[in-house]
Structure 1
Amino acid sequence: MSLPSLARITAPPDPILGLTELFGSDPRPGKVNLSSGVFVDATGKTPVLDVVVEAERRLAAEAGTKLYRPIDGEPAFRKLVRGLVLGDDHEAVTSGRALATQTPGGTGGLRVAADLLRQTGSGTTLWMSEPTWPNHPQLFHAAGFRIRPYPYTDATGRRIDEAAMFAALDHASPGDVVLLHGACHNPTGVDPSPAQWRRIGDLVEERRLLPLVDLAYQGFGDGLREDAAGLLELVRPGAELLVSTSYSKTFSLYAERVGAMLVVARSAADAGAVQTHVKAAVRTNYSNPPAHGADVVRTILADAELRARWEVELAAMRTRIKDNRAALVEALEARSIPGDWTGIATQRGMFALLGLTTHQVARLRDAHAVYVVGHGRINVAGFTPANLDPFADALAAVIAD
Structure 2
Amino acid sequence: MFEQLKEKPADKILALGQAYREDPRETKIDLGVGVYKTPEGVTPIMRAVKAAEKQLWEIESTKAYTALAGDPAFTDAMVGLVLGDAVARDQVSTIATPGGTGAVRQAFELVRMVNPGARVFVSDPTWPNHLSILAHLGMEVVNYRYFDSATCAVDFAGMLTDLEGVRAGDVVLLHGCCHNPTGANLNMTEWAAVVELLNAKGALPMIDIAYQGFGDGLEEDARAVRFVAANCPEMLIAASCSKNFGIYRERTGILMAVAQDATLGKITQGNLAYLNRQNYSFPPDHGARLVSMVLTDADLRADWQAELEDVRLGMLKLREQLAGELQRLSGSDRFGFIAQHRGMFSRLGATPEQVERLREDHAIYMIGDSRINIAGLNSETVPILARAMIDAGV
Shared fold per TM-score greater than 0.5? yes
Paired with 2:65 and 2:14, the residues of 1 have a C-alpha distance of: 30
Which position in structure 1 is the counterpart of 2:138?
144
Paired with 1:170 and 1:92, the residues of 2 have a C-alpha distance of: 31
The correspondence of residues 154-169 of structure 1 with structure 2, limited to 5 A, is: 154-169=148-163
Which position in structure 2 is the counterpart of 1:381?
375
Paired with 1:337 and 1:34, the residues of 2 have a C-alpha distance of: 25
1:127 is the counterpart of 2:121: yes
1:339: Cα distance to partner? Answer: 6.9
Amino acid at match of 1:46: T
Residue pair 2:97, 2:252 contacting (<8 A) in 1 also: yes
The correspondence of residues 1-400 of structure 1 with structure 2, limited to 5 A, is: 2-6=1-5, 9-87=6-84, 89-93=85-89, 96-121=90-115, 124-236=118-230, 239-336=233-330, 340-399=334-393
Are the structure 2 counterparts of residues 76 and 356 from structure 1 closer, same or farther at C-alpha, using a change threshold of 3 Å?
same
What do residues 266-294 of structure 1 show as CA deviations (whole Å, max 9, x unaligned)?
32221221121112211121212111111
1:159: Cα distance to partner? Answer: 2.4
1:390: Cα distance to partner? Answer: 2.4
Paired with 2:134 and 2:197, the residues of 1 have a C-alpha distance of: 23
1:55: Cα distance to partner? Answer: 0.6
DSSP-derived class of the 2:148 partner = coil
Structure 1: segments with no counterpart, 5+ residues = none
Paired with 1:238 and 1:205, the residues of 2 have a C-alpha distance of: 7
Are the structure 2 counterparts of residues 337 and 111 from structure 1 closer, same or farther at C-alpha, using a change threshold of 3 Å?
farther
Residue pair 1:86, 1:232 contacting (<8 A) in 2 also: yes
Are the structure 2 counterparts of residues 319 and 237 from structure 1 closer, same or farther at C-alpha, using a change threshold of 3 Å?
closer
1:258: Cα distance to partner? Answer: 0.8
Paired with 2:364 and 2:4, the residues of 1 have a C-alpha distance of: 36
Residue pair 1:118, 1:144 contacting (<8 A) in 2 also: no
Paired with 1:306 and 1:67, the residues of 2 have a C-alpha distance of: 26
Relative to the length of structure 2, the TM-score reads 0.96
1:233: Cα distance to partner? Answer: 1.8
DSSP-derived class of the 1:91 partner = coil
Instruction: Name the stretch that deviates more: 68-77 or 150-159.
Output: 150-159
Instruction: Name the stretch that deviates more: 21-30 or 168-177.
Output: 21-30
Residue pair 1:98, 1:263 contacting (<8 A) in 2 also: yes
Paired with 1:136 and 1:157, the residues of 2 have a C-alpha distance of: 25
Size of the alignment, in residue pairs?
Answer: 394
Residue pair 2:115, 2:169 contacting (<8 A) in 1 also: no
1:306: Cα distance to partner? Answer: 0.8
Paired with 1:344 and 1:298, the residues of 2 have a C-alpha distance of: 34
Identity %: 39
Amino acid at match of 2:2: L
Are the structure 2 counterparts of residues 362 and 339 from structure 1 closer, same or farther at C-alpha, using a change threshold of 3 Å?
farther
Are the structure 2 counterparts of residues 60 and 279 from structure 1 closer, same or farther at C-alpha, using a change threshold of 3 Å?
same
1:176: Cα distance to partner? Answer: 0.5
Paired with 2:232 and 2:29, the residues of 1 have a C-alpha distance of: 48
1:137: Cα distance to partner? Answer: 0.8
What do residues 317-369 of structure 1 show as CA deviations (whole Å, max 9, x unaligned)?
01001001001112222321877001111211111001121222222223322
Paired with 1:337 and 1:391, the residues of 2 have a C-alpha distance of: 16
1:40: Cα distance to partner? Answer: 1.2
Paired with 1:280 and 1:144, the residues of 2 have a C-alpha distance of: 21
Are the structure 2 counterparts of residues 392 and 238 from structure 1 closer, same or farther at C-alpha, using a change threshold of 3 Å?
closer
Residue pair 1:217, 1:349 contacting (<8 A) in 2 also: yes
1:155: Cα distance to partner? Answer: 4.1
Amino acid at match of 1:159: A
DSSP-derived class of the 1:399 partner = coil
What RMSD in Å do the two structures reach over aligned CA positions?
1.7
Amino acid at match of 1:291: D
Residue pair 1:49, 1:313 contacting (<8 A) in 2 also: yes
Residue pair 1:81, 1:100 contacting (<8 A) in 2 also: no
Paired with 1:245 and 1:120, the residues of 2 have a C-alpha distance of: 21
What do residues 145-199 of structure 1 show as CA deviations (whole Å, max 9, x unaligned)?
1110111123434322222111110011111000000011111111111111111
Are the structure 2 counterparts of residues 338 and 399 from structure 1 closer, same or farther at C-alpha, using a change threshold of 3 Å?
farther
What do residues 60-113 of structure 1 show as CA deviations (whole Å, max 9, x unaligned)?
1113211122211111101100111111x33332xx011221111111100010
DSSP-derived class of the 1:43 partner = coil
